[in-house]
Structure 1
């Protein structure tokens, strides 16, 4: 009885029994999807936690609120976290960026929805941590800390206390315009630095961080720099019960509509640009394809005439290479030889009087000065059958 050898290794135990074969676990696409979602959750948590704490502690401790700290902190936070986790998930960390990637087919709809849920969960977790770490006293309540980190407009703007003394306020129209401009910059920088399959390019982290810095520079004095629906939602949920001057949940709609509208506009521009570019490329290819048969037809029509002319020139200028064939020369060749001899000789004779030249020999010729024009008038006439010299 024979046994066929197995390609897979068989492990034997000490008692002679066959042990179980090792199983190699392969990573399935579903597992990769959840790994990316976990990276988005962790990245959004880190970003939002740093923004909440730095905005609250930095502005209040400094005493004099400044735009430089939020701008620098936002830019560096997004840059560092995107460089850390961007290679895993693509570095969205923003529902607006994910929506734009869904519209441009850089991520599937299912993965996009999972990304958005993970981002919101991460932001909510960061908001819970920030609320837990804020020190509270009777003289410094929660709202004193949160007014610099909760997004809002009009009465909820970080500049509301200063502007109210001048009887002016940053209303909803100004908040919509500034948030829309800032979100367009952020989404455009993030989407254009992603590959067609959703992976981040080398410069994705740098351009994303710079874009968030520019967006924060424009929006922080007016809306406390939203630019990210998840970031706005995470802190608004916990600030709702902290007796803020304006309910954060009631103004949260603006910080979802503006980013999603910006994502739609950026995706529309990218799609239209791609369509126009593809049409121009197809027209160029079609023009080149149509011009190729015409050029080939012209070449084919011109080739026979060129070949005929080249054949005639070759026949007229080709010398006799075979000495044995000299005796069978045509009358035209014989006349040409006679003309050459008579032109060098001072003896004027008819064609019949010229001695034939043997093939392969050079006749002895006595070269004398040619006759002048006056001598030709007095002398004998030149042979009439002399062909015109070329």
Structure 2
């Protein structure tokens, strides 16, 4: 009976690590879907959409891969199950977490979605705030994971991962000129002598950074 329980993954639920793995799949799918769909109404080419999708997936794997594998896709989870890289019960819960993350991502994307081709200047303040928070969460999540020597993700690979996390949301939502950096926004505002809604480009990235730091410190950090 013990061997059967182990074979289907019952024993995986005997410690809290499974909760970290499921949370990683839920949050990873949420970030992926919410960013990707927020730019759905933009006039993007198929090439840009494909590039955005690939870069977003790369960013998600860089953040969550060491915890759950960064599947964010039931097909990958099922493939991992067939290859004996994951057992049955965790695989089922992985897929449930992915579905929940996707649903939550759709809800957020509907709120933040760009509805006109004008882009940044036509967006309401709260949408700018939401996008800056979301983009910065992605960037900072990668940035805080790269120096973690326990993961071994340093050097050029780490630098490229950070670069990808900047390119990905900008490709996904081409009509929004995201900042993700308060001092960059400050420099641009000073150069253009226009500080309209400048607080958004401080508050959004800072909130995203705080959330990313908390999630990595208490959930995603290597143990």
Q: TM-score, normalised by structure 2?
A: 0.45
User: By percentage of residues, which structure has more helix?
Assistant: 2
Higher RCO (CA < 8 A, seq sep 6+): 2
Rg larger for: 1
